[in-house]
Amino acid sequence: MSAPLVEMKNITKKFPGVIANSGANLVVQAGEIHALLGENGAGKSTLMSVLTGLYKPDEGDIYLSGEKIAFRSPKDAIKAGIGMVHQHFRLVAPFTVTENVALGLTGGFRINLDKLAKEISALSHDYGLQLDPEARIWQLSVGEQQRVEIIKLLYRKTKILILDEPTAVLTPQEAHDLYATLRRMAQEGCAVIFITHKLQEVMDAADTITILRGGCTIATMSKKDTDTKQLVQLMVGREIEHKSGVIGGEIKGNTILQIDSVHALNDKGLPALKDVSLSIAAGEIFGIAAVAGNGQRELAEVITGLRPYHSGSISVDGNPLKPNDPKASIDAGVSYVPDDRLGTGLVPNLDALDNLFLKDYRNPRWGRFLLKQGAFREHAAQLVKEFSVSMAALSNPVKMMSGGNLQKLLLAREISAAPRVLIAVYPVRGLDIGATESVHKLLMEQRAAGKAILLISEDLEELFLMADRIAVMYEGDIMGIIPKHEATVAELGFMMAGAKRREVGA
Ligand SMILES: Nc1ncnc2c1ncn2[C@@H]1O[C@H](COP(=O)(O)OP(=O)(O)OP(=O)(O)O)[C@@H](O)[C@H]1O
Ligand SMILES: [Mg+2]
């Protein structure tokens, strides 16, 4: 048998205070789609950064088609045919698709953009990646931007394609299309490695699965020899109880959040919210189902004071909320877990302590004139423990934390602020099964504590599990508000596509 396309042997990678990979192994054959699984912080992204030459391993060797290689930089890895689509895309927003593909190509002024655009069209046609080469990146949806990243790699004749949680930002349909493209690439002899927390996708799309736990490789197996139950056991190292009917009985109280006929614009100055009205009671989880870009982000932003609205009204506990004033929203008890945890949610270069402190520094509890640093540090350490955030030290910049732990830190800050209204946007995106369970449990506890919760998600399964009522948004409009027990996936799907409207229970 010929040597595997990729072989990583005994890879160890240490960061100050953390061993991210500890003797990890990975073998990937040409022609296969290989899923890399593991809990948050298991070392998946680190192992892939070693493969792409971003990190130099402390120990271990990498072989490509049986030949030992040592990358001095990512450039070497690109030359060797390795390419990665990072979870946070690296595209230049004002540039066109073609210009972005051209970036980094050698050839300087001699690059013929017209010819390149034609080649991009051909590639996008061949691989089913619908894309307009002349479009500018900022005009594209997240799914389309991901296609640009993939086209970039295809154009560079990438043989080993790595995707870090590629479907975390996609709608179910886009995810389906992406996997069709990946299959096509595998059939042409590429090796595709993808990281995900969605086990159903693994069972649908992967040929082979490698599981990491605590930086070590636990198992590599063929998809047909396993099932999701075993995968969970291997990842977590213990049995996880099956998601139960988390919802308790009806505990609805008085209306806390009231929104009446709100109109607002998006960043491009186009109408994003068109006459939106809804109300959320104490002890209620109100779900919003929508495909990205249909106004749900703007809805969260007008409530949190981050975006102005030009008519209508919003009140919390009967008190009108001052528009476009984040401090007024915080003071009224609105907490916010946004979808971009490292943009709006947390400050990447600040440490965990300062990030926890960001919204609380005015609190007299921490001193009126001089900051009681010790007291806050103790409080922060307590929060980190309570929300089981795992990190090397409170004083490390949070950008070093794994995705799941970032999310837990953000929730710790927002929930500990004792909100009246908690807005959570895709709160379990990128989280492993254990972390997903604990976040859902936290939300349920907030519900039981009589908070009004606005849960925005693309994941219908999550909404069915968690929400009391579900509203569907389409192009800035509420297509209908349905009590969960009356809703079906099919009906919600139709409404999300704008094909159906239902006037009930608003
Ligand atoms: N640049 C870094 N500096 C310090 N520690 C790091 C760095 N990158 C990762 N780590 C730590 O190494 C461990 C593994 O992180 P990694 O990002 O590889 O996990 P992961 O499996 O990708 O997790 P997730 O599913 O949450 O993305 C974590 O404890 C993380 O905090
Ligand atoms: Mg990761």
CA of 360 to the centre of ligand 2 (A): 29
**How many of the other CB atoms lie within 10 Å of CB of 19?**
16
Distance CA 430, CA 432 (A): 7
- C-beta neighbour count of 422 within 10 angstroms: 27
85-128 confidence digits (pLDDT tens): 987 778 898 999 999 999 877 766 677 889 999 999 999 998 88
Task: Give pTM, 2 decimals.
Answer: 0.76
| pLDDT of res. 109 | 63
Query: For ligand 1, is residue 45 a contact (CB within 6 Å)?
Result: yes
Beta bridge partners of 198: none
Rg (CA), the chain: 24
CA–centroid distance, 121 to ligand 2, in Å, is 32
In 3D space, the residue among 451, 453, 506, 443 whose CA is nearest the CA of residue 480 turns out to be 506
Distance CA 302, CA 298 (A): 6
- Residue 284 predicted with pLDDT over 50: yes
Instruction: For the domain made up of 243-333+419-506, give the CATH fold.
Output: Rossmann fold (3.40.50)
Closest Cα to atom 10 of ligand 1: 400
Tens of pLDDT, residue by residue over 439-452, are 888 899 999 999 99
| Residue among 415, 414, 418, 443 at smallest CA distance from 428 | 443
Ligand 1 pocket residue status of 235, Cβ below 6 Å: no
Ligand nearest to the CA of 393: 1
Cα dihedral sign for 467, 472, 478, 482? negative
Query: What is the residue extent of each domain of the chain?
Result: 6-236, 243-333+419-506, 346-418
Tokens of 227: 């099932």
Residue 466: phi and psi, rounded to 5, are: -105, -35
- Nearest atom in ligand 1 to 197's CA: 25
Please tell me the residue having the least CA distance from ligand 1 atom 26.
Answer: 40
Mutate which of 11, 13, 14, 18 to test ligand 1's pocket (most atoms within 8 Å of Cβ)? 18
**What is the position in ligand 1's atom list of the atom closest to the CA of 215?**
14
Residues 6+ apart with CB under 8 A from 198: 167
Tokens of 115: 């010819």
Cβ of 402 closer than 6 Å to ligand 1, yes or no, is yes
Dihedral over Cα of 344, 347, 348, 354: its sign: negative
Kindly list the protein residues that place their beta carbon closer than 5 angstroms to ligand 2, a single-atom ion: 45
Q: Does ligand 1 lie within 6 Å of residue 164's CB atom?
A: no
**How many whole angstroms from 169 Cα to the centroid of ligand 1?**
20
Any atom of ligand 1 within 6 Å of the Cβ of 21 = no
pLDDT, tens only, 1-14:
679 999 999 999 99
Q: Which residues contact 66 (CB under 8 A, 6 or more apart)?
A: 2, 3, 4, 7
What Å distances lie between residue 211 and 22, 67, 225, 297, 301, CA to CA? 13, 24, 14, 34, 38
Does residue 46's CB lie within 6 angstroms of at least one atom of ligand 1?
yes
Ligand 2 centroid, distance to 432 Cα (angstroms) = 10
Q: What 3-state class would DSSP assign to 369?
A: coil
Distance 402 CA to ligand 2 centre (A): 6
Q: Is residue 295 within 8 Å of 273, Cβ to Cβ?
A: yes
Tell me the per-residue pLDDT of 296-337, one tens digit each, with 9 for 90 and over. 999 999 999 999 998 999 999 999 999 999 999 999 999 999
Q: What is the per-residue pLDDT across 365-402, written as a single tens digit (0 to 9) for each?
A: 777 777 778 888 898 999 999 888 888 788 888 888 87
Q: CB of 479 within 8 A of CB of 295?
A: no
- Cα 172 to Cα 125, 142, 292, 460, distances in angstroms: 21, 13, 11, 10
Name the residue among 318, 432, 353 with its Cα closest to residue 41. Answer: 432
- Extract the tokens encoding 409: 């830190």
pLDDT of residue 353 exceeding 70, the answer is: yes
Say what the pLDDT of residue 240 is.
59
Q: Give distance in angstroms: CA of 41 to centre of ligand 1.
A: 5
For atom 31 of ligand 1, the residue with the nearest CA is 401
Choose among 124, 126, 145: nearest CA to 135.
Answer: 145
Centre of ligand 1 from the C-alpha of residue 310, in Å: 43
What are the start-end ranges of the H helices in 20-93? 44-51, 74-79
Q: Which of 12, 15, 21 to mutate to test the pocket of ligand 1 (most atoms within 8 A of CB)?
A: 15
Place of tokens 């749900």: 296
Tokens of 500: 């159906």
Q: Is the dihedral of CA 213, 218, 222, 225 positive or negative?
A: negative
User: What CATH topology corresponds to 6-236?
Assistant: Rossmann fold (3.40.50)
Q: Whose CA is nearest to atom 24 of ligand 1?
A: 40
Residue with tokens 């895709």: 426
Topology match between the domains 6-236 and 243-333+419-506: yes
> Could you give the 3-state DSSP secondary structure of residue 266?
coil
Residue with tokens 């109880």: 241
Band of pLDDT at residue 250, cut at 50, 70 and 90: low
Nearest CA to ligand 1 atom 6: 400
400 lines ligand 1 (CB under 6 A): yes
Ligand 1 proximity of 38 Cβ (cutoff 6 Å): yes
Give the pLDDT of residue 245. 41
89-429-342-420 Cα dihedral, nearest 10 degrees: 150
Among 416, 414, 405, smallest CA distance to 383 is for: 416
The closest residue, in CA terms, to atom 11 on ligand 1 is 20
Centre of ligand 2 to C-alpha 472, Å, is 31
Is the pLDDT reported for residue 466 higher than 90?
yes
**Which amino acid is it at 241?**
E
For every residue of 175-237, DSSP letters joined together read HHHHHHHHHHHHHTT-EEEEE-S-HHHHHHH-SEEEEEETTEEEEEEEGGG--HHHHHHHHHS
Ligand 1, residue 42: give the atom nearest the CA.
21
The structure tokens listed for 10 are: 């005994």
* CB neighbours of residue 219 within 10 Å: 15
Instruction: Quote the pLDDT of residue 121.
Output: 93
Please, what's the b/e burial string for 246-282 (b: 16 or more CB within 10 A of its CB; e: otherwise)? ebeeeebeebbbbbeebbbbbeeeebbbeebebbbbb
